[in-house]
Chain A
Amino acid sequence: DQQVKQNSPSLSVQEGRISILNCDYTNSMFDYFLWYKKYPAEGPTFLISISSIKDKNEDGRFTVFLNKSAKHLSLHIVPSQPGDSAVYFCAASGYNQGGKLIFGQGTELSVKP
């Protein structure tokens, strides 16, 4: 029962272009969504989040969009840089669930110079 899905295992983008990573969820009780970035031999690091009361959150080059009716969110990286190459995980949670996050399978982003 995969409640959070990232259907693209990998994505390759040219430096300077936009990277769009997608995530779908099935549980309508989720009300907080996060994106994590993971480099090899390191733990996931928090990137950006969005509450279900919003449809967009922006932080520098990173923007997350939430479409609640479609149960879909996406992460946009503009412009993409080679240092952005990593595995990106989408995660979801509900209020009062503490540290319990439900993660997607991850998308490996490769940004080529």
Chain B
Amino acid sequence: ETGVTQSPTHLIKTRGQQVTLRCSSQSGHNTVSWYQQALGQGPQFIFQYYREEENGRGNFPPRFSGLQFPNYSSELNVNALELDDSALYLCASSSSGQGISHLYFGPGTRLTVT
């Protein structure tokens, strides 16, 4: 059974640029959530995708957008990058119908905006 994988591991971008982060769900999981973890903080919910539709969103501006593909993998896109977007971005997958404790996180992508 393959766990949640994310790419790239690290990324450096310049303010104003756009970035795409990728996530492959754990086998059998159809729901993907994205979280942002700033330095010294806990993960903060960005949004969740289920059956290729956004299914809940946290307090993040529209320049944070996502996609879920038929194979349940997902992308997080951030436009017009700001310095405060520097953080660890975590993807988590789960299966609908299972409890919230069945949320499996990937290792994250470390984004640095200069």
Please report A residues at the B interface, Cβ cutoff 8 Å.
4, 6, 9, 32, 34, 36, 41-46, 49, 89, 91, 93, 97-106
Contacts and interface: CB of A to CB of B under 8 A. Distances in A.
Contacts of A44: 43, 90, 105
B42 A105 contact: yes
A98 B90 contact: no
B33 interface: yes
Contacts of B58: 100
B66 interface: no
A102 to B, nearest CB: 7
Interface of B: 4, 31, 33, 35, 40-45, 48, 50, 55-56, 58, 90, 92, 94, 100-108
B100 A98 contact: yes
A6 B35 CA distance: 18
Given A46-B101, A46-B102, A98-B33, 20 more contacts: A4-B42, A34-B100, A34-B101, A36-B105, A43-B4, A43-B92, A43-B106, A93-B100, A97-B100, A98-B48, A98-B100, A99-B48, A100-B56, A100-B58, A101-B45, A103-B35, A103-B44, A104-B42, A105-B40, A106-B41
